[in-house]
Amino acid sequence: MKRRWDPGRPLTDVSPGHWLQERLWAWGPGSDRKGLAVGCLVPEGFERYARVLHPAWRQTKAGFEPVRWSEIASWTGRSVHPLMQFHRIANLPAFPGHRFPSWGNVPSEGELPVAEGDRLIAILRAHTTTPDRCYLALWEGYGVSELNALAGRPRLMLPHRAYFLFSGPIDAVTSLSLGDFQHPPNLWWPEDHAWCVATEIDLSETYVAAAEGCANQVVVNPDLEAYLVPIDGRVDVDGDVVNPQTP
């Protein structure tokens, strides 16, 4: 059974998230930027940026088991690199609704898996002075009754996204629950701004902005598939310029 942590009502004061408004890059319509960059998801001003890949799922006789992107690339003969896109290394169509691999299931989009979340928490806890005072931002648009009931509450407004903001300990990340709706936050950071983590709703990976030592610990952790990426690296559907698009 999944753990549950009820944050109560979202904060009426969303000013703890205003630093993100100042340090996230603009993207989408009206922006001069082509595609979606790392700096559109996590704020500039950090020493390093890490990309944590959500595992895909391979069907076996015993059930589903996680499988890394790098292993899938070995099946398809595609190249492994920090900005690889899953559909390209898996030789699948670009449109998410058409991705049905014969070997199992694609990675989760917009939701940090619990196992990866717990591993990140174990690393990040040691790199903040305020692990018990964190901010957890949950996208408003999941369309569930628990969030619809909060329609009149203030939101943290970021480029093309709005979030309800909660406060709680770092351990709440993988157990955040509103009634029957359980979902990890899309953005989370400690009160001391030592790092920031983002899982964009349309992507199959999570990004960490942190000091060099912290980010390095993320990418060398053997239980995570993670890479250092540049802040201006493109992470949208056309961001992989190494592997060809599936015809």
Please report whether residue 148 resides in a domain.
yes
What is the C-alpha to C-alpha distance for residues 130 and 158, in angstroms, rounded to an integer? Answer: 24
What is the C-alpha to C-alpha distance for residues 45 and 65, in angstroms, rounded to an integer? Answer: 37
**Are 243 and 89 within 8 A, CB to CB?**
yes
Please report whether residue 221 resides in a domain.
yes
Per-residue pLDDT tens digits of the chain, which is 247 residues long: 567 888 889 999 999 999 999 999 999 887 888 899 999 999 999 999 999 999 999 998 888 999 999 999 999 999 999 999 999 999 998 876 667 898 999 999 999 999 999 999 999 999 999 999 999 999 999 999 999 999 999 999 999 999 999 999 999 999 999 999 999 999 999 999 999 999 999 999 999 999 999 999 999 999 999 999 999 999 999 999 999 988 7
**Are 3 and 184 within 8 A, CB to CB?**
no
Please report whether residue 189 resides in a domain.
yes
- Phi/psi for 134 (5° steps) reads -120, 165
Please report whether residue 141 resides in a domain.
yes
- Phi/psi for 28 (5° steps) reads 80, -165
Please report whether residue 31 resides in a domain.
no
Which residue type is seen at 168? Answer: G
**Model-level pTM?**
0.96
Domain tally, the chain:
1
What is the C-alpha to C-alpha distance for residues 247 and 177, in angstroms, rounded to an integer? Answer: 41
The H or E element spanning position 65 is: strand 63-67
Q: What pLDDT is stored for residue 2 in this prediction?
A: 62
Please report whether residue 239 resides in a domain.
no
What is the C-alpha to C-alpha distance for residues 88 and 93, in angstroms, rounded to an integer? Answer: 8
Please report whether residue 20 resides in a domain.
no
What is the C-alpha to C-alpha distance for residues 131 and 118, in angstroms, rounded to an integer? Answer: 14
Please report whether residue 65 resides in a domain.
no
Domain limits at 206?
41-54+111-228
